[in-house]
Structure formats: structure tokens, C-alpha cells
Structure 1
């Protein structure tokens, strides 16, 4: 597994994120207003879901056990400084998420009446050299199906079962059966049901978790300044206690941020392709915002709870030497977060973490089901057996949930890391090869925004001639105009990849507030 999560991957993820950040002039900062506006306005359709539901599905995949157990593991093996590198990865990773999701919108397809897309689709259509594109697209689809049906569910199911057992002593086998049944009840209902459930559960669970975290941190307010100083000193090896482990600090921070936020993996792009928007970058921006919610908000809350209450140990992974032991005998994982809550709210930590772990992990499992469906649809789109194969793999995923409930934590994390590492490498290589189209699509969005327009995508203006989805015209009574009211390409048919235009929105319409 070492080569999957080697230094070259860390460098490539940060380099790709930094390139898009600089090339697009910090869109994850400049366009925060657009991110929020799109989440508030984005509508759905019979073929797609709303921008908010697509965000919720992506957040369902992003906000999972990595936000609780993953952060604790990063601190346990990388020390407090790992938090800094999680933040860095989130900021540059947001630019990668914008690009991934924008490309997913450009080359999404309609499959069985619903939108499907993501890396496999944009790799095949976007990379000009077919001898490169097809192997990469198939490799991404196959590795994603493997990761979301076999490897990924293990870590989610294990942490649900472990936290429920710690809180109430429930047999992991019972927990696994219940979670598997609930999973089937939702995921076999298709994309719409997954979107609706995530749209309700994700905001509720994230808000409750963040509010409790703020209470814990507020009750330890005197320790907060020194805690932040420790994070920044440790991040660059300035803390003597963590001298000689700078590589581990960076690696654990970046690796856990990637696992949590999925920046660079292409996972969120698959949810983005299901949305109905008038311009690809609109959905790209909303997914860029999801990285902030996941890592800069939820993961940070976990880290601050653990560090402000000194509910952690630090062990050098290479030597096994214990550097810090604030909670003797407690292994890195959900127990750190439970201990943090228990330190200020006795008797509340274990039950709350068990409930939070269930919702976080369950919505991740739902997203896994959708991602598996999307990639099976890609692999089977020319075969009538596609839906049958999808159901079979969903049942395999349910079986992985049941079996994962019994596995050891080390084994579960190893499986998850292998699955994510496989398709992340494929996606990163593809993003490097797709820099040209990514820049063209983003420049098209920026041009329309600078002109005061509500952007609608015309693929040909971005030099793209093979966007699969339908194109639409403005209402018959509408006449596209500039702000001065002069006709602007009034005789042209407007083209948009995303089906029918949003109500009262067409190319040339002034941007409304």
C-alpha cells in the first residue's frame, strides 16, 4: 500500500491544487458568494437533483468517520501539527474539487432517465487520445466500484459497530444487520431517494456535531491560544517533542484530509454530475464549498475538541515510541473524541459519538451506493443487464457492511486506504491531462460573470464539441440583451449542456441579486 500513498501522491495533489488556485486566481476565496448563491438557487428536474441535494450527497460521502476517527488518527500519529496540513490540503483541495465537478457537468450523460457523470465519463470524453483515455476511464470505474462496494464500507461499518458497542454494548453483528437493512431500503430507491435522505440528514448531523464541539471548546477557552500555537509550531517541526517526524506530520495531515474531504479523488464530482445547473462552474463552486464544510469546519471542530481537552496520545509510527500520553491506554480513534466530550459532559461522550458516527457513516455508505451505481452505469451502459448488475453490487456492498462490523481497525483502515489510493492516482493523472478544457470552461464562466450575466454554458464557445447532454434555447419571447438593452446575438440558439434552462435565465440576462 505504501506506493499508493507515497510522497509523490501528496506532492501531486498539492501541486495540482496549487496550480488551479493560482491559474484561476483563488476561486475558492473570490467566489465564495457564488458558492452560497448557487446552493440557495439551484433547482432540480426529473433527470437531476438540486445543487443542494448534490452537495448533500457529496457531503454525505465526505463527512464520515474520517471527520471523527480520521482526525484522531492524524493527531495520534502526526501530532497536533497534522491539523495545519489538513487545513492546507482543504484550501488547495477546494480548487481541485471545483475543477473536478465542473468537468463532470460538462461531460455528464443521461442514463436510464437520470444524469450520471464523474471522472470515468470526463476522462473518456475529455482526453483526446483514446488509447490513453479508455484505459484510464475503465481503471477509474473499476477501482471505484471495488472501493465503494468492498473496501470503503468496511471502515464505515466497523466504526459504527465499535462506537455503538462502546456506548450501549450492542453486538456488532446486530448493528451490522440493522445498518445493512437501512442501507438497502434507501439506496435501492435510486438517486432521487438518496438525494432526499442526504438533504435532510447531512445538515442536521453536521449542525448538531459542530454546536456540541463549540460548547466543548468554549468550556476550555483558556487553553485555546496555546493550542493553536502548538499546532503551528508542530506543523514545521518547531516543537522539540516532535522533532524528526516532520514527514509523518505532513503525511498524516494530508492523507487524512484527502480521505475526509475526497479532494483529488473525483468522488464528489460524481454527485455533482447529477445536478441540474446552467453552467458547469456553478456546480463546481458549490462542491468547492463542500470541502470547506468538511475539513475547515467539521474536521477542525473534532481536532479542537481533542486538543483543547488534551484527550490524545502521540506515537511515532516508525519506532512505536510514545511521545505524548494524555489518555493512557487509549488507541487513536473515536475514543479520543469521546474522551474530549466526557471531560466536560460526563456520561454524554460515548452515546453522542455513537449517534454521530452512525449518521456520518450511514450517509457515507449511501454515497458509496450512488458512486458504485454511477460507475457500473458507465461500464454497463451498452448492455441491458446494467440495472441487474447494479442491484447485485448494491447487495455486495450491504454484505461488506455486515462483514466490516467484525474487522479490526487496522485492517479496515488499510482496505479503505487501498481503495481510495487506486482511483485517486487515476483521477490526478486525468486532471493533469485535462488542464486545457478545465481552463476554457472556467474562463467562459468568468467572462460571463464579468459582463454581469448569469452564466449559461455554450460548449462550442469553450471549444468543446462532444458534450453529451441536450442543449436548449431561451424562452421564445425573450431577447438576450446587454445591460444597456441592446440586442446581443438574438438570432442564435442558446446552447446549454444541462437540459432546460433555469427559469427566467438565459445567455445575456443580467445577473440578478
Structure 2
């Protein structure tokens, strides 16, 4: 009964209105900001390596890596396989579309997080809870977001990450899930208890290396199946619009699963990446907004796409109708998840797929767990303003998250995915409503950045220039920036 109720809630949260709202917001920001995610791709990449950290904040790249660590997780391997299983090959197209418009949403929310960030115990903190209170003035809504985010990051979110690590390790090396769970918990605590700087350092080292290795492996699989690539893309585009007869009756599922998994993987519109963005030391909010917009591309257009193409080009998948009947069964008896990707790699490198995916899954999911700890910490800091109680609550939260990791190793895949979707859906709805209400502000902030760039200046943010009068942290940042220029 519990599982059924959770599934019902997930279906309500991830219904057509959410899909429509994410896509419409993305299109709106794309039009009003003149397609920055397309016309400023080079600038996005350049901003990743510019600037350095400070006592208060991490570097732009470390903030990008923390956000990317949160974005790149099991959704990039198991999630893509699930989307293909329930939505067919056409789900890939809708993942791409969601990523392109979602990049503009990420730019907006991460810029807002920078505008209204705060200095908490000498470190920058920010995100939806902070910009909802200061930008909209609805403290009740800000608390609701923070509470939902803590619940999702500490309780429901870790389940699917931990389960996927344990499952892939079990398949690859036959190690019992409880052993894997204990190992992950110990390593997790060793990093997280070192604070923001250690999380940023680990994410900055691990995420780029693992993502590059995974993409390279995928390109090799595609190259060795080059003759099947044109037909595969034809199948993707035909299936995306119901033109392929086999998938003609599941167009709704194709779109829903493509968008849902893209949102879960990229986190565009959820506000998660915005919390990492707020921790960066930059001279203008839009700089980190652009950098974080690029992270959506890395996550979905690069990593998720590689997973999907490997699975499709090697026919390592099954497709199931919404009514439970089987449409395609290329790998009989194989359940949707990491096994699809493992099978795809095994077709090229026999016996290697299970081990490679297990290693990739471990690092992808582990860095996501580190990001969860940071996000939960940020929202606990917002709710509990008393320094002493905040430290106590944060320690409790860390150990609750560790417990969720351990328990998640034993949960079934369906329950784990539903719990993850439940937590994510709760705070995503709140953030999407906030983005609608603050869309004008986000656009003004971005246009202020563009104006200064056209004038040949390195943009420096002054909140007063865009009509914002309650962002005191930026007065200090401006003073430091001007002082550095003089020196």
C-alpha cells in the first residue's frame, strides 16, 4: 500500500502541468535573454575556468563541479536506460530538447541564487529558499522549499544513488549490498565532515576525470558500430513524434519519460544547482549563471546522450508499453537500469562492461551524494538561524543522510526511483513557481551583464542598477573587486 501511495503521488507531481511549465519557462527565458545557451556557449565554457576562490566562496569551477556532481549521477546511466525502457528511443530526443531549454532555466535560477546569497559562518550560502524570501517576500514558501529540499537530499534522494552503486557492484564483482553500503558511508563521512572546501576539492578532481573517461568509452562503442549509427538516429527522431509504427501508441510516454529523466538528471528548474552556484566567488551573478547553464549541457547532451546512444546502437534494451505489454525485447529478462549500459559495453569489450559501469556508477553517484550533503546543509542553515543549533542539526542531518545511503543499498529499484522522484518533485514545484514570479528580475540581471560586456568591461554587479535593494553581500564583493583592480 505504501509503494502504491508513493507511486500515485509521483504521478501527480510529475504530471503534464510540470512538464509544460519547465518547457515553457525554458522557452520564455531563451526568447527574453536572446538564446544565451546557444549564442554564448563559448563564453559559458570560458567562465568555468576564470576566477579563483576566496575565504567566503569556492572558485567558479569548483561550484560548477559541485553542481555537476549533483547533476551527473545514476540518472545518467540507470535513468537514461529507464527512459528508453518506458518511453522508447524517442525519449532521447525529448531529453535533448529539455536540456537545451533547461540550460536557460539553470542560468536564471543560478543567477538569482548569486544575487541573494548570504555569508553564513564565513562561507557563502544561497539558493531558492534565500531568493524566495528576499525576492518575493514569502518566508512561508521559502521554508517550505528548504524543508522539502532537506527531506529530498537527506532522506529520499540518497536511496536511488546508493541502490544503483550496490546493484552495479554486486553485478560486477558479486559483493554483498550491505558491504558496499558500509564502504560508501565511511567514505562519504570522511569527505563531508571536512566541510564545503573539501567537498568542492573532491568534486573538482573526480567529476571531470570520470565524465571524460565515460564519454570516451561511449565514443569508442559508437565508432565500432558506425554502420548502425544513421539508422539509430532515424529511429530516435521518428519515435519522438510517433512516426515509428511500433511506438505510435505511446507518444505521451515518450515525451513524459524523456522530460522527466532529463529534469531528474540535469536538475534544471529544481533549484539544486543554484545552491552550489551561490557558493562561488564571482564579480557578477550572470557569470556563474552562464557557467551553470553549461553544466546542463555536460550532463544531458554529453553524458546522458552517450549512455543512450550506446544502449540503442547495440540493441541492448527492451521497451514496455504503458499497459505493461512488451513492444521490443532485445535483451530478454534484463531489467531497466545499469544492466543495459553494461550489456552495451560488453558487446564491444566482452567482460569489461560490468566492471566499467560499476566504477562509473560509484563515482557518479558518490559525487551526487556529496552534493546532497551540501544542499541539505545549505537549507538547514536557512531554517535554523541559531549558530549552535544549526551545527547540531547539520551533524544530525549528515548522519541521517548516511543512514539513508545504507538503507538505500537494500531497496528495490522501483521503490528507490519513486522515492527519489517524490522528493525532487516536491521542491521542484515550489522553485518553478518562484522562477515564474522572479523571471523579470533574472532577465534584468542577465541584461545588466550583457550591457557591461558590450561596453568592453569585465562585468561587476551593483544590485542598485537593476532595482534590487536587499543584497548586502554584493556591496562587500564590489569593494573587494574594485580594490583588486586598483592593486
Quickly name the TM-score band, shorter chain normalised: over 0.9
Structure 2 equivalent of residue 52 of structure 1: 61
Bigger radius of gyration among the two: 1
Q: Which has the higher helix share?
A: 2
Structure 1 equivalent of residue 13 of structure 2: 4
Structure 1 stretches lacking a partner, 5+ long:
473-494, 507-513
Change (3 A) 1:162 1:468: same
Q: Report deviation, 1:37.
A: 1.8
Work out the CA distance in 2 between the residues paired with 1:503 and 1:266.
32
Structure 2 equivalent of residue 238 of structure 1: 243
After the TM superposition, which parts of structure 1 deviate over 4 Å for at least 4 consecutive aligned residues?
Answer: 502-506
Residues 421-474 of structure 1: CA deviation (Å, up to 9, x unaligned) = 0000000000001012112111111110111111000110110000031525xx
CA-atom RMSD, angstroms?
1.1
Work out the CA distance in 1 between the residues paired with 2:225 and 2:141.
49
Once the two structures are superposed, the pairs formed by residues 54-453 of structure 1 within 5 Å of their partners are 54-127=63-136, 130=137, 133-316=138-321, 318-382=322-386, 384-453=388-457
Work out the CA distance in 1 between the residues paired with 2:341 and 2:224.
15
- 3-state SS in 2 of match to 1:200: helix
Higher relative CO (CA 8 A, sep ≥ 6), structure 1 or 2? 2
Residues 346-401 of structure 1: CA deviation (Å, up to 9, x unaligned) = 01000001100000000000000000000000001245310110011000000000
Q: Report deviation, 1:204.
A: 0.8
C-alpha contact 2:461 2:474 (8 A) present in aligned 1: no
- 3-state SS in 1 of match to 2:328: strand
Work out the CA distance in 1 between the residues paired with 2:65 and 2:257.
26
Using the size of structure 2 for normalisation, the TM-score is 0.97
Work out the CA distance in 2 between the residues paired with 1:460 and 1:27.
24
Work out the CA distance in 1 between the residues paired with 2:484 and 2:122.
24
Work out the CA distance in 2 between the residues paired with 1:45 and 1:242.
53
Structure 2 equivalent of residue 476 of structure 1: none
Using the size of structure 1 for normalisation, the TM-score is 0.92
Work out the CA distance in 2 between the residues paired with 1:388 and 1:99.
33
Work out the CA distance in 1 between the residues paired with 2:467 and 2:424.
32
C-alpha contact 1:340 1:349 (8 A) present in aligned 2: yes
Q: Report deviation, 1:36.
A: 1.7
Work out the CA distance in 2 between the residues paired with 1:34 and 1:215.
29
- 3-state SS in 1 of match to 2:214: helix
C-alpha contact 1:159 1:357 (8 A) present in aligned 2: yes
Count of aligned pairs between the two proteins: 477
Structure 2 stretches lacking a partner, 5+ long:
1-8
Work out the CA distance in 1 between the residues paired with 2:192 and 2:210.
19
- 3-state SS in 1 of match to 2:475: coil
Structure 1 equivalent of residue 6 of structure 2: none
